[in-house]
C-alpha cells in the first residue's frame, strides 16, 4: 500500500502516512529486503514459488502500464506468503484426519476456513484430539521458523471464537 492509499484509508495527511510507512520499513528492514529480493527474483525467473514449490507466473512484471506492473509486484510478494499458507493448510487437512484416526478418536474434519480447520470431536476425547491436531498442524512441514497453532473449542463455531 502506498502513502496515498494509506492516507485515504486511515484519514491521515499524506505526509503523515508517508512518514508512517517509512518508519515501518526503518523498524522492519527485513520486510523491505524481502519485498525487493522477491520482486527482483520474480523478474529474473518470471515466477514466484510457494514453500511447496507451486509456481505463479507473472508476465505482467514486464508490463509498460505502471498499474499493471505494480499489481504484479504485489502478487509477487504476496504469493509466497499466502500461497505457502494455503499449501500448509491443505497438508494439514490431509494429516489431521490421519492422526485422529490413528489415535482412534471419534472426531472428524468438517471444514476449512482460511487458515483454520473446524472439527467435530466427541467430548470424551477432546484433550487428546487437541494435542493431536496441534501436533499435526505445527509439524505439517519443516520450516525454519516455528509454526504455532491456537486450538479453541466450544459447542459451536461461534462459541469457539
Mean local confidence (pLDDT), 26-53: 96
CA-CA distance, 129 to 138, in Å (whole number)? Answer: 14
Mean local confidence (pLDDT), 90-116: 95
| Domain match, 56 and 108 both | no
Q: Is the pLDDT of residue 160 over 90?
A: no
- Single pTM value for the model: 0.85
Mean local confidence (pLDDT), 3-20: 90
Q: Range of 31's domain?
A: 3-83
CA-CA distance, 46 to 55, in Å (whole number)? Answer: 10
Of 60, 83, 106, the one marking the end of a domain is 83
Of 50, 66, 83, the one marking the end of a domain is 83
pLDDT of residue 22: 92
Confidence of residue 61 (pLDDT cuts 50, 70, 90): very high
How many domains does the structure of the chain reveal? Answer: 2
pLDDT of residue 127: 95
Per-residue model confidence as pLDDT tens digits over 78-101: 999 999 999 999 999 999 999 999
Burial 135-155 (b: 16+ CB within 10 A, else e): ebbeebeeeeeeeebeeeeee
Q: Counting Cβ atoms within 10 Å, is residue 58 exposed (0-12), middle (13-18) or buried (19+)? A: buried
Q: Is the pLDDT of residue 124 over 90?
A: yes
Q: Which stretch of DSSP H or E encloses residue 45?
A: helix 29-45
Of 83, 99, 118, the one marking the end of a domain is 83
Q: Is the pLDDT of residue 117 over 80?
A: yes
pLDDT of residue 6: 87
The half-sphere exposure of 4 on its side-chain side, counting CA atoms within 13 A, is 0
Confidence of residue 77 (pLDDT cuts 50, 70, 90): very high
Amino acid at each position: 500500500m502506498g502513502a496515498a492509499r494509506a492516507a485515504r484509508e486511515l484519514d491521515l495527511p499524506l505526509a503523515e502516512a508517508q512518514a508512517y510507512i517509512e518508519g515501518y520499513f526503518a523498524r522492519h528492514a527485513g520486510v523491505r529486503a524481502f519485498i525487493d529480493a522477491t520482486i527482483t527474483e520474480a523478474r529474473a525467473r518470471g515466477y514466484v514459488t510457494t514453500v511447496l514449490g507451486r509456481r505463479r507466473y507473472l508476465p505482467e512484471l514486464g508490463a509498460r502500464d505502471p498499474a499493471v506492473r505494480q499489481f504484479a509486484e504485489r502478487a509477487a510478494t504476496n504469493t509466497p506468503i499466502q500461497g505457502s499458507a494455503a499449501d500448509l493448510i491443505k497438508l494439514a487437512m490431509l494429516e489431521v484426519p490421519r492422526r485422529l484416526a490413528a489415535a482412534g478418536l471419534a472426531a472428524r474434519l468438517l471444514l476449512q476456513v482460511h487458515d483454520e480447520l473446524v472439527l467435530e470431536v466427541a467430548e470424551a476425547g477432546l484433550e487428546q484430539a487437541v494435542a493431536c491436531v496441534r501436533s499435526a498442524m505445527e509439524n505439517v512441514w519443516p520450516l525454519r521458523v516455528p509454526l504455532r497453532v491456537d486450538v479453541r473449542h466450544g459447542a459451536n463455531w461461534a462459541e469457539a471464537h
